[in-house]
Amino acid sequence: MESEVRGYIRSFPAIFERAKGAMLVDEQGNEFVDFFAGAGTLNYGHNNDRVSKALVEYIQNDGVVHGLDMATSAKKRFLQTLYDVVLSPRNYEYKVQFTGPTGTNTVESALKLARMIKGRSNVVAFTNAFHGLTMGSLAITGNNFYRDEAHISRSNVSFMPYDGYFGPDVNTLDYFRKFLEDGSSGLDLPSAVIVETIQAEGGINVASDEWLQGLEQICREFDILLIIDEIQVGNGRSGEFFSFERSGITPDMVTLSKSIGGGLPLALLLMRPELDQWKPGEHTGTFRGNNLAFVASVETLAYWENNDLSDAIHYKSGILKEELEALAVKYPDLNASVRGRGLIYGFEIPEIGIAKEVSRIAFEKGLIIELSGASDQVVKFLPPLTIDEETLRKGIGIIDETIGEILETKQERLSEEF
């Protein structure tokens, strides 16, 4: 009955029934390690105990579940917690807009607001960017798989090369700056630049702190708003709550979704107070105030009251990096390279098709792991942040075993041919 548009279900052909932490269980009772984490939605694991307990309590007390954008006690607690635990300690004074509860909704809101404020329709996005698939977000998403002549308006977006796009020796910001400074370059002054600090769907491309600082500098010079899309790599994925924290930049707007709702649908836009130029009701949506997500989020934001989680991420990040680099060395025929930060890592295998094979066979062995990059050539490690060391190592072990088998089979095939 379901549409052919299904994607993940094809890669991971099982019917899942239960889940806990970093483990999923299908209807036959088979267990799977989850290195996918709902593409960044399950940073705190499946059915986190604190979350489950709070949800049950809330429902049993007949808490308001759906309330559009009306004020509820749950929303009040969420805003207070976000301020106390995340914004205030980092000296951010952002205002919060609840958009429709998906990433693409908050991106659309950010673009709409930026264009309205600056009165300029152009926006700059980067090569290999992924920001969502509604019409406004799609226009700034690079992958041509999603773009079709008939349904996409290509207007009002200019793509610039991301950090490292022309190799390590070219500073791509020089290109961008040249286009901006030259009044005849054909680049219309954009209202905003939107960028991911780590391109997750684009192949785990990591922008350096210097590049981000340079980008912020350009935005200030040319009066352009800087929007950081934190949908996939915010919420602690990079090691800190916001992935841009360590670079020291202060975006004008930040889009948040995925894990910000504690695993439930929620999306929000942070914006500097002077940018909050919306008229009441100008951007609406039915599910903006998902109260169950507020309840869940309050529980998961609690992880940021101290440095324990952050420290644990850095510790496990070290393991992940070390182990993946060891794999690259162990299997030199793959010509694999390792990229990432925190608990998002890419293991790129240039030969097209191999990475896909890795994901497929690893699933048979009990590991759920996704691909990314323009040709699905990057195996994408995205475990829950709360994963324990043992399960992490177990998952990596499955990858090791899988690659070994694939190369062996390949070897045999080659031998047979002679």
Binders of a second copy among residues 226 to 285 (CB under 8 A) are: 257-258, 263-265, 269, 271, 276-285
Q: Which of 50, 90, 92, 134 binds a second copy (CB under 8 A)?
A: 134
Considering the complex, what minimum distance in angstroms separates the CB of residue 336 from a second copy?
20
Residue 171 C-beta: closest distance to a second copy, Å: 11
For the stretch 19-43, what's the b/e string if a residue is b when 16 or more beta carbons lie within 10 angstroms of its beta carbon?
Answer: bebbbbbeeeeeebbbbbbbbbbbb
Is 391 a binder of a second copy (CB under 8 A)?
A: no
Record the tokens describing residue 147, joined without a space.
């773009």
| Residue of the chain from 33, 85, 101, 324 that contacts a second copy (CB under 8 A) | 101
User: Looking at 103-111, 207-215, 235-243, 404-412, which segment touches a second copy (CB under 8 A)?
Assistant: 103-111
User: Nearer to a second copy by C-beta: 174 or 210?
Assistant: 174
- Cβ proximity to a second copy, 39 vs 319, nearer residue: 39
Binds a second copy (CB under 8 A): choice among 22, 35, 81, 104: 104
Angle at Cα 87 formed by Cα 236 and Cα 223, nearest 5°?
95
Compose the 189-218 pattern: x for residues touching a second copy by CB under 8 A, - for all others: x-x----------xx---------------
Using CB under 8 A, count the residues that bind a second copy: 144
Q: Identify the CA nearest to 305 among candidates 236, 367, 395, 354.
A: 236
Only one residue has tokens 């009044």, namely 183
Q: Is residue 16 at the binding interface for a second copy, with CB under 8 A as the rule?
A: yes
Beta carbons of 235 and 165 less than 8 angstroms apart? no
Q: Which stretch binds a second copy (CB under 8 A): 11-19, 248-256, 337-345, 400-408?
A: 11-19
Torsion angle in degrees (nearest 10) through CA of 141, 192, 221, 242: -70
In the range 315-374, which residues lie near a second copy by CB under 8 A?
Answer: 373-374
Shortest Å, Cβ 399 to a second copy: 20
Determine the Cα–Cα distance for residues 6 and 9; give it in Å rounded to an integer: 6
Region from 145-153, 221-229, 342-350, 356-364 binding a second copy, contact rule CB under 8 A: 145-153
222 near a second copy, judged by CB under 8 A:
no
Alpha-carbon gap, residue 155 to 145, rounded angstroms: 18
Residue 9 lies near a second copy (rule: CB under 8 A)? yes
Give the binding range for a second copy (CB under 8 A) out of 186-194, 246-254, 343-351, 382-390. 186-194
* Site for a second copy contains 145 (CB under 8 A): yes
Q: Which residue number, 185 or 306, has a Cβ lying nearer to a second copy?
A: 185
User: How long is the chain?
Assistant: 418
Of 111 and 327, which has the nearer Cβ to a second copy? 111
User: Do 267 and 47 contact (CB within 8 A), yes or no?
Assistant: no
What is the smallest separation between the CB atom of 167 and a second copy, expressed in angstroms? 10
175 CA to centre of own chain: 26
Question: How far is residue 10 from each of residues 25, 169, 244, 273, 370, measured CA to CA in Å?
Answer: 17, 40, 34, 44, 12
Report the 10 Å Cβ neighbour count for 133.
15
The DSSP secondary-structure symbol of 181 reads H
**Rounded to the nearest whole angstrom, what is the least distance from the CB of residue 228 to a second copy in the complex?**
18
HSE-CB of 357 using CA atoms within 13 angstroms: 17
Cα radius of gyration (the chain): 22
Tokens (6 digits) for 326 = 């060891």
Q: Which stretch binds a second copy (CB under 8 A): 116-124, 320-328, 346-354, 377-385?
A: 116-124
